[in-house]
């Protein structure tokens, strides 16, 4: 078996596409790793200087922000990747300019409206959803970041469509957290106001949005000064909305666990759970790094009708994901108490919850790039339906387990959700394309 496996890997290394996966994902992985370190630094600053309760309040407010930003994006970030990947390969910069202009024309007013809604409904959300009135100022401050957060996702996906994987990884994972850490570190020298983490977070998103928007427009206009006029805005929205629903279900289902934990448990538990999610996410860094370079490639192969090429490419990706992720999994599981203790002694009580969360992340890595494959091959509606079913199961699990077990209950529900949507998607792709998205050497 080992000889057969070694022979298969040796053969893969002779393939140009496999080498592209290795080199591209390695660079992206390192940048994402930097983002993780910077993110840990930001979380560390909050936990050490402000305590787990402020960290919990910040986590809840950012979770609400992310939910509003999903609506604000309207699925257009995913739609951009599909369009940009094809138009970039064809050298149609005029169409790229058209899509970007029309996307921002829709996104900016929607983002501003959502920002106003969040600001004026902050008291209602704090009082009637979380039953924690003290959260109102946190929500008010974070409401100013709705449009910048939306534009962060839009601009990040532009980079990915251009196959600028390093820029994509920096914009998506490093930039805003780096700015937030620097701003918070400086401000904390002079003041320890509990609202400073939210102020720093919002300010960092403004900085990233202005800089990335300027650079993207400069890049596009260096190739084309005139935009095409062949794509009606209504058609863009019609194709984007199914992707928005799929992305919304995926993200909101993950955030539901944090929100319901905030409703039925304490801010301390929310703070500990946020750290658990940060640590467990490290295990999916290889998957996310590969998805960042693979999604445009999926779209190109599908557009050309190259089913055999798509099958080979997915198989190569699954091997890289498996062998790169297993060591990280083992490290986190073995040293989970030590990792949690880095944030403070009070976080170590989340050790068993982290173990349960890691089981859920294993399903995520084992299934492979199922979400990217379905979205990039025109099966976003099927992906939306799969996530819809899994979301209902997740809500039921949260209602059952969180009131009973608190932090552990949230981890159990999250594990069930991860297992459901990944395994169902994996089976669907096998039945639809006859493509095996996972790799199992035994």
The pTM of the full predicted model, rounded to 2 decimals, is 0.62
Q: Please give the structure tokens belonging to residue 83.
A: 């369009």
- pLDDT averaged per 10 residues, the chain (length 442): 50 51 61 75 81 81 85 72 62 72 83 93 86 87 91 80 70 79 84 86 89 79 65 62 61 72 77 81 73 70 73 77 82 88 80 88 80 74 82 88 86 88 86 79 68
pLDDT value, residue 141 = 92
Cα torsion 281, 256, 80, 316 to 10°: value is: 40
Give the pair of three-digit tokens for residue 379.
């099966």
Contacts for 187 with CB less than 8 Å, ≥ 6 apart: 196, 199, 200
How long a stretch of residues is the chain? 442
The pLDDT assigned to 22 comes to: 56
Task: Give the model's pLDDT for residue 89.
Answer: 60
What count of other Cβ atoms lies within 10 Å of the Cβ of residue 196? 22
As a whole number of angstroms, the distance between CA 142 and CA 411 comes to 26
For helices 2-12 and 307-334, angle between their N-to-C axes, nearest 10 degrees: 120
Only one residue has tokens 């990947």, namely 85
| Distance, CA of 244 to CA of 371 (rounded, Å) | 13
pLDDT for the residue numbered 13: 47
Look at residue 14 in the predicted model and tell me its pLDDT. 47
Q: What are phi and psi of 307, to 5 degrees?
A: -70, -40
| Cα 89 → chain centroid | 25
In three-state secondary structure terms, 7 is helix
Task: Report how far residue 308's alpha carbon sits from residue 86's, in angstroms, rounded to the nearest whole number.
Answer: 19
Q: What is the pLDDT at residue 120?
A: 93
Three-class SS state of 226? coil
Best CA proximity match to 312, nearest among 184, 435, 438, 216:
435
Contact, 260 vs 270, CB < 8 A? no
DSSP single-letter state for residue 231: S
Structure tokens at 285: 């860094």
Q: How far apart are CA 17 and CA 15, in angstroms?
A: 6
How many other CB atoms are found less than 10 A from the CB of residue 16?
Answer: 7
Instruction: List, in order, residues 6 or more apart from 384 with CB less than 8 Å away.
Output: 242, 245, 246, 249
């Amino acid at each position: 078996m080992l000889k057969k496996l070694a022979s298969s890997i040796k053969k893969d290394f002779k393939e140009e596409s496999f080498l592209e996966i290795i080199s591209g994902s390695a660079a992206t992985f390192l940048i994402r790793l930097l983002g993780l370190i910077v993110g840990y630094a930001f979380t560390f600053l909050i936990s050490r200087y402000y305590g787990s309760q402020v960290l919990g309040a910040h986590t809840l407010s950012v979770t609400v922000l992310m939910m509003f930003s999903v609506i604000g994006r309207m699925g257009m970030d995913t739609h951009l990747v599909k369009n940009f990947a094809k138009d970039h390969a064809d050298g149609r910069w005029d169409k790229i300019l058209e899509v970007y202009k029309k996307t921002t024309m829709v996104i900016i007013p929607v983002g501003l409206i959502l920002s106003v809604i969040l600001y004026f409904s902050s008291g209602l959300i704090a009082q009637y959803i979380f039953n924690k009135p003290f959260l109102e100022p946190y929500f008010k401050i974070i409401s100013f970041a709705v449009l910048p957060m939306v534009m962060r996702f839009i601009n990040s996906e532009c980079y990915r469509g251009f196959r600028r994987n390093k820029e994509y990884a920096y914009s998506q994972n490093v930039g805003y957290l780096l700015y937030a850490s620097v701003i918070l570190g400086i401000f904390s020298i002079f003041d320890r106001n509990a609202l400073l983490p939210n102020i720093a977070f919002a300010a960092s998103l403004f900085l990233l949005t202005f800089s990335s928007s300027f650079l993207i427009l400069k890049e596009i206009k260096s190739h084309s000064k005139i935009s095409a006029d062949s794509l009606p805005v209504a058609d863009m929205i019609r194709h984007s909305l199914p992707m928005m629903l799929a992305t919304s279900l995926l993200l909101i289902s993950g955030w539901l666990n944090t929100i319901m934990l905030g409703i039925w448990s304490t801010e301390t538990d929310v703070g500990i759970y946020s750290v658990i999610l940060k640590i467990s996410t490290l295990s999916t860094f290889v998957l996310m790094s590969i998805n960042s370079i693979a999604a445009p490639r999926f779209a190109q192969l599908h557009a050309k009708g190259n089913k055999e090429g798509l099958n080979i490419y997915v198989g190569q990706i699954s091997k890289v994901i498996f062998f790169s992720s297993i060591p990280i999994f083992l490290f986190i599981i073995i040293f989970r108490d030590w990792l949690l203790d880095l944030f403070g002694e009070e976080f170590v009580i989340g050790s068993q919850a982290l173990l349960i969360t890691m089981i859920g992340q294993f399903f995520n890595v084992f299934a492979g790039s199922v979400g990217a494959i379905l979205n990039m091959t025109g099966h976003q509606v099927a992906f939306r339906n799969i996530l819809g079913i899994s979301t209902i199961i997740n809500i039921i699990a949260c209602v059952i387990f969180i009131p009973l077990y608190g932090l552990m209950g949230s981890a159990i529900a999250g594990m069930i959700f991860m297992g459901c949507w990944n395994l169902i998607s994996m089976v669907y792709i096998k039945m639809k394309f006859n493509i095996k998205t996972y790799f199992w050497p035994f």
